[in-house]
Amino acid sequence: MVASRKDRLGRVARLLRENPHLRPGYERAKTVVRAFRRPAFYEVATRCNLFCEGCYYFSDDFAPPAHEVKDQSVWEEFFAAEARRGVTMAYFVGAEPALEQERLLAAAKCFPHGNIGTNGTVKLDPAIPYRIGVSVWGVDEEVDTSLRGANAFAKAIRNYAGDPRAIMLFTLTRTNLGDVRQLAEICADHDLPLTFNMYSPTQSYVRKLAERMGPDGRFFRISSEENNLRWDEGSLAAARRIMDEMLEDYPDTVVYSHAYNRWATQIGPLYDIDPQTGIARDCHSRMVEPMRYFKTDLRHAALEKCGTSDTICSECRMYSGGWSSKFEPRDEDVRDARSFAEWTGMVETLGRIFLLQRKPEQQIASNNVFEWVRVDEVADASLVLAK
C-alpha cells in the first residue's frame, strides 16, 4: 500500500528528529528542488544536422508547426511574459537548439535557470549562461557514425573542452557500453563532467523492428529485431556494473549516483503504468500544471504525457523523467536513515547535472514566490514542493 503524502512527511520529520546529521543534506536538497518550482519546456528548433538511430524527436508522424514564429522580437516578448508567469527553470529542446541561438540569447535575459540539450556539433555562444547537456552516443568514430550519421563526438569535445557550462550526457545503449571507460578518460583529460542517459525506445522504433523494416537511410539504419538498442536483463546488469565502476574510478568526473543507478537499471518498468493507456502515472516529466510545453509556434501544447510523447513509458529510462521523479521522496526513500540519505544525495546530484550557477554579472531576479506545503501535524522539517 502506498503511503499518503502526509504519512511520508511524518516519516521525514521523524527521521530528521532522530538523525540530525541528515538535516544538512535535506536542506541542500530543498535548495535544489526550489529551482524547479515552475518549469517549462520550449522547443526552439525544428531542424537538426544529425540522424540519430531511433530519434526521440523525429517520429514517423513528425510535422513542424504550420506557423513557426520567425520574428525575434516576438520570441523576446514571449519569454518576457513567461518570466512574469514565474518560470524558474527553462528547458530548451527540439531538434537542435544550437541552430537557433538568437532565441536562446533572448531567453537568457528572462529565466534564472536553464538547461539546453544539444548534440555538441555547433558551439553555443558564451553569453548563454545555462547548463549545456552535450549528447554523446559513441566515442569510437565507427560506433558514433553508425548511431548518429556523423562523427559528432570529436566536434563536441573540441567545442566544449573546459567549458564550465557543459556536461557530457552519454546515452547508453546495448551497443556502446564498451565506450564508457574510454569516454570517462577523455572527459577527465578535457575538464568535462560526465553523466548518463539510457536509451528508451519509441513507438516508431519498436514498430519498425516488429515489421522487420529495412534501413530507411535516416533514423533507422542499423537496427533489426535480433540486434537493436532495446534493453534486456543481461544488458541492464552490464550497464549497472559499468556505471558503478565509473563512479568509483572517476569520482571527479562522473556525476551520477549509485542509488539512482540501481533504480534506473532495475528489471521491468520504472513507473506505475496505467494498463488502459500505457502511460506512466507517477513520472514527473508528465505535462501537468504548472509545467508547460511550447512548440515553435509559441502555443502551449496540450500533451497527453511528456515532451517525448512517442517514447514507450513501460520501457522509458530517460534521464529527464527519471531524475525529475526524484524531486519528492517516495515510500522507499523514507524507510530508514540510509534510504533517506540516498534520496537527498540523488537530489544533490540532480542539481549538479541540470543547474549552473550564473556569474554575478549574469544574475537575474526571479519573480516567482516559492510555495511550500506544510502539514500542521508535523514539524517544520516536513516541507515538500507543492504540486
Distance CA 218, CA 228 (A): 16
Query: What radius of gyration do the chain's Cα atoms show?
Result: 21
Q: Is 97 strand, coil or helix?
A: helix
C-beta of residue 341 within 8 angstroms of C-beta of residue 25: yes
Q: What are the mean pLDDT values of the chain's consecutive 10-residue runs (387 residues total)? A: 84 97 96 95 93 76 82 98 96 94 97 96 96 93 86 94 96 92 97 96 89 80 85 97 98 98 97 95 89 94 82 95 94 96 98 86 52 30 35
Residue 383 is assigned to a structural domain of this protein: no
Residue 51 inside a domain? The answer is: yes
Query: Alpha-carbon distance 301 to 293, whole Å?
Result: 6
Cβ burial of 122 (10 Å; 0-12, 13-18, 19+) is: middle
Nearest to 269, CA basis, from 196, 325, 224: 325
Q: Does a structural domain hold residue 94?
A: yes
Identify the pLDDT of residue 381. Answer: 34
Give 206's contacts (C-beta < 8 A, 6+ positions apart).
230, 312
With respect to residue 232, please indicate whether it lies within any of the assigned structural domains. Answer: yes
Supply the DSSP symbol for 2.
P
Reduce the DSSP state of residue 324 to 3 states and report it: helix
198, part of any domain = yes
Q: What is the CATH number of the domain that holds 101?
A: 3.20.20.70
The pLDDT of residue 61 is 65
Residue 92 lies in a domain: yes
Query: Model-level pTM greater than 0.85?
Result: yes
Does residue 290 have a cis peptide bond before it, meaning omega lies within 30 degrees of 0?
Answer: yes
**Around Cβ 30, how many Cβ atoms within 10 Å?**
17
- For the chain, the domain total comes to 1
pLDDT given for residue 163 in this prediction:
97
Structural domain span for residue 189 = 38-325
The H or E element spanning position 233 is helix 233-249
d(C-alpha 170, C-alpha 152), whole Å: 12
What DSSP character marks residue 20? G
d(CA 287, CA 245): 35
Is residue 269 a part of any domain in this protein? yes
How far is the CA of 199 from the CAs of 91, 176, 186, 315, 356, in angstroms? 19, 11, 22, 9, 25
Pairing of strands 384-385, 372-373: antiparallel
Between CA 18 and CA 42 the distance in angstroms is: 43
Q: Are 149 and 51 in contact (CB under 8 A)?
A: yes
371 in any annotated domain: no
Q: What is the residue-wise DSSP string for 47-77?
A: --S---TT-SSS-TT----TT----HHHHHH
328 contact partners, CB below 8 Å, separation of at least 6: 33, 284, 384, 385
Cell of 232: 534486456
